[in-house]
């Protein structure tokens, strides 16, 4: 199948040109935050909450995994902002932008990941033998506020993981479907590498699930899949043949 030469469409679209996260940040009433300020605010609020609640309830064992999760979510926010802005700055097909942003599939994938994680933590894991992962980090009777914060952070992380999945899949479709000029190819490859890099940073979660086969498989499989698909999208990008364009 011959690939199409890519040019941005001029047709109107009912879909947005940002991810849900970007829309929320941009819609905060009376507040205008730069990307750096938004990430710093997210990081500061969550990290302070993790430390205060962990020390306040005497469960200091939650500080390290909580901090890693908070930093991973913050890194994901930065990756989303750079991917989003970098994509919008390029002359790309409307169909690609619509799939990437307007479909909101990243939210669906984030919800699926979060529901699967909650089911594992509160249904599957307790049916096994020995201490659950929740008990190992939060104690046998975790405080309600701590559980609430934990789930909020995990959702934040799952949403960014869902975004990374979707960005990788749509990038692979883009590389299969379209050809681009050399400058655009170079910039798209950097964006694909950025997504692969975000996937790689999630290896930081492995030490906390190393003795949990299901979670270890899920995290490891996710990291390998995102990196693999992103790199496949990167290497299969084709430049327009100027002799036939």
pTM: 0.86
Assess whether pLDDT exceeds 70 at residue 217.
yes
The per-residue pLDDT for range 48-98, each reduced to its tens digit, is 999 999 999 999 999 999 999 999 999 998 998 899 889 989 989 988 988
Rounded to the nearest 10 degrees, what angle do helices 35-56 and 144-177 cross at? 150
User: Residue 11 pLDDT more than 50?
Assistant: no
Position of tokens 């952070």?
153
Distance between first and last Cα of the chain: 16
Residues 6 or more apart in contact with residue 102 via CB below 8 angstroms: 13, 14, 15, 16, 17
Of 3-7, 37-41, 152-156, the one with minimum mean pLDDT is 3-7
* Average pLDDT score, the chain: 88
pLDDT score of 41: 87
Q: Residue 174: which H helix or E strand, with range?
A: helix 144-177
pLDDT number for residue 205: 94
Are 147 and 59 within 8 A, CB to CB? no
Q: Is 158 in contact with 114 (CB distance < 8 Å)?
A: yes
Q: According to the 3-state scheme, what is the secondary structure of 113-133?
A: HHHHHHHHHHHHHHHCCCCCH
> Mean pLDDT throughout 95-115?
90
List pLDDT tens digits, range 144-194. Answer: 999 999 999 999 999 999 999 999 999 999 999 999 999 999 999 999 999
pLDDT score of 235 more than 70: yes
- Residue 106, pLDDT > 50, answer yes
What integer pLDDT is reported at residue 24 of this predicted model?
A: 67
pLDDT above 70: percentage of residues in the chain: 86
Q: Maximum distance among all alpha carbons in the chain? A: 69
Q: How confident is the model at residue 23 (pLDDT cuts 50, 70, 90)?
A: low
What pLDDT is recorded for position 5?
A: 59
Instruction: Give the whole-angstrom CA distance, residue 147 versus residue 182.
Output: 50
- Distance (Å, rounded) from C-alpha 45 to C-alpha 37? 12
């Amino acid at each position: 199948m011959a690939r199409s030469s890519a040019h941005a469409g001029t047709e109107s679209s009912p879909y947005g040109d940002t991810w849900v996260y970007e829309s929320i940040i941009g819609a905060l009433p009376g507040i205008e935050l730069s990307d750096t300020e938004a990430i710093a605010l997210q990081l500061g609020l969550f990290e302070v909450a993790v430390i205060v609640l962990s020390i306040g309830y005497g469960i200091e064992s939650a500080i390290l995994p909580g901090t890693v999760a908070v930093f991973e979510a913050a890194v994901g926010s930065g990756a989303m902002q750079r991917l989003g802005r970098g994509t919008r700055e390029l002359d790309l097909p409307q169909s690609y932008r619509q799939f990437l942003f307007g479909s909101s599939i990243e939210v669906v994938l984030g919800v699926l990941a979060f529901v699967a994680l909650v089911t594992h933590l509160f249904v599957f894991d307790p049916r096994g033998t020995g201490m659950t992962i929740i008990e190992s980090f939060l104690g046998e009777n975790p405080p309600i506020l701590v559980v609430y914060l934990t789930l909020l952070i995990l959702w934040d992380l799952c949403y960014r993981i869902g975004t990374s999945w979707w960005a990788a899949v749509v990038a692979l479709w883009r590389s299969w479907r379209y050809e681009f000029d050399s400058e655009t190819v170079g910039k798209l490859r950097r964006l694909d590498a950025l997504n692969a890099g975000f996937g790689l940073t999630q290896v930081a979660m492995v030490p906390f699930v190393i003795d949990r086969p299901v979670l270890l498989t899920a995290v490891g499989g996710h990291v390998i899949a995102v990196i693999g698909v992103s790199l496949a999208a990167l290497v299969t990008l084709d430049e327009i043949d100027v002799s036939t364009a």
